[in-house]
Amino acid sequence: MIPSRFVRQVLLVLCMCVIAASVFAQATTGEYEPRVGQEGKDVVWVPTPQALVDKMLDVAKVTPQDFVIDLGSGDGRTVITAAKRDARALGIEYNPEMVEVSKRNAAREGVADKAQFIQGDLFESDFSQATIITMFLLEEINLKLRPRILDLKPGTRIVSNYFTMGAWAADEIVTVEKQEECQVYCTAYFWIVPAKVEGRWMLPQGELTLEQSFQMISGTLKSGANTTPVTNGKLSGDLITFSVGDITYTGRVNGSSMDGTYTTKWNATQVKEALQAPAKKPNL
């Protein structure tokens, strides 16, 4: 999507304001002030609008049990917002000055204990412990990270500002609609890492062969001489659902086993009895 001329002009004016403000602030406080658009190792720094940060954490359903990692954490806003929601949160940022800015911002916001920042290259960092990963990078970087992301624990939630994961369709897309809250980069994509189910499975009903493309599944159920296609197959983390004929299976994948229930369609037609005279009361 190419931003309109108006949006580009607004961005230009914003950048100039930010540069002027940062030069002034740096001159008066001596603290490093980042500039929107400044070089980063693989991506420049552009902050996610706060309204979209909020929406990204909403769609990921952050709770105090979560461990949120922001890859390329900039000034720390996503990590700080997650910490304010009582989650443990970590920012991985290549630029050491941005790490210091983030630490100062977290301290100012009173969440230095929950919001942590480390200087490092996201390609060399271990983010396997995250329950939620947020990012605002580039599509090509998302695609490079995709195999590692798909190897994370099923159920790990991923939210990316603006950039998609190519053929891995998002489970949900959210947008900040209000112009006054967000002018550019107002849409985020959300995925849940699916369990890996491709292969052959034995069921009491027969042999199930599943093919998997990210969270979508297809395949067949072979029962004696009958082979029936698997339809409407989908994974949401470790939750699986698919249909074979009229039967819908739902369950949970746990490594090399699955457990769940199935429902099948049924119907009944009422039997109309002929009206009978009421039974006579016995004479007492």
Ligand X SMILES: C[S@@+](CC[C@H](N)C(=O)[O-])C[C@H]1O[C@@H](n2cnc3c(N)ncnc32)[C@H](O)[C@@H]1O
Residues that bind ligand X (CB under 6 A): 40-43, 45-48, 70, 72-74, 77-78, 92-95, 98, 121-123, 136, 161
Helix (H) or strand (E) holding 161: strand 157-161
Nearer to ligand X, 134 or 156 (CB): 134
The backbone torsions φ and ψ at residue 190, rounded to the nearest 5 degrees and listed phi first, read -125, 135
Q: How far is the CB of 51 from ligand X (least distance, A)?
A: 12
CA-to-CA separations, 248 to 23, 204, 240, in angstroms, rounded? 62, 15, 11
Q: How far is the CB of 146 from ligand X (least distance, A)?
A: 16
Are 167 and 214 in contact, with CB atoms under 8 Å apart?
yes
Q: How far is CA 124 from the centre of its chain?
A: 22
Q: How far is the CB of 119 from ligand X (least distance, A)?
A: 8
Nearer to ligand X, 48 or 131 (CB): 48
Minimal CB distance to ligand X: which residue? 72
Nearer to ligand X, 98 or 210 (CB): 98
d(CA 189, CA 172) in angstroms, rounded, equals 6
DSSP readout, 110-137?
A: T-TTTEEEEE--GGGS--TT-SEEEE--
Nearer to ligand X, 136 or 168 (CB): 136
Q: How far is the CB of 139 from ligand X (least distance, A)?
A: 13
